[in-house]
Amino acid sequence: MNGYEVARRIRETEHGKNMLLVAVTGWGQEEDKRLAEAAGFDEHRAKPVEFGTLQSLLARCAEWRA
């Protein structure tokens, strides 16, 4: 099972419908981003993820949980 399939399965569950899913990967081409979005990821980030970007994503996650 790859990350795309994991995202699809998570999105099929009740608790996964409103979960923030971020793909962090070594693959950063436009096709990779398209596949991640189609699988249900909210964000796609290529490694290495900049610290400021990571902070923003974590803050967004905290807002969702509030």
Answering whether pTM is above 0.75, one says yes
Range of the domain at 57: 3-65
**Averaged pLDDT, 28-47:** 96
Please give the tally of structural domains in the chain. 1
**CATH of residue 13:** 3.40.50.2300
Check residues 64 and 59 and name the one with the higher pLDDT.
Answer: 59
Averaged pLDDT, 34-40: 97
Question: In the chain, where does DSSP find H-type helix?
Answer: 3-12, 30-39, 51-65
> Do 10 and 16 form a contact (C-beta atoms < 8 A)?
yes
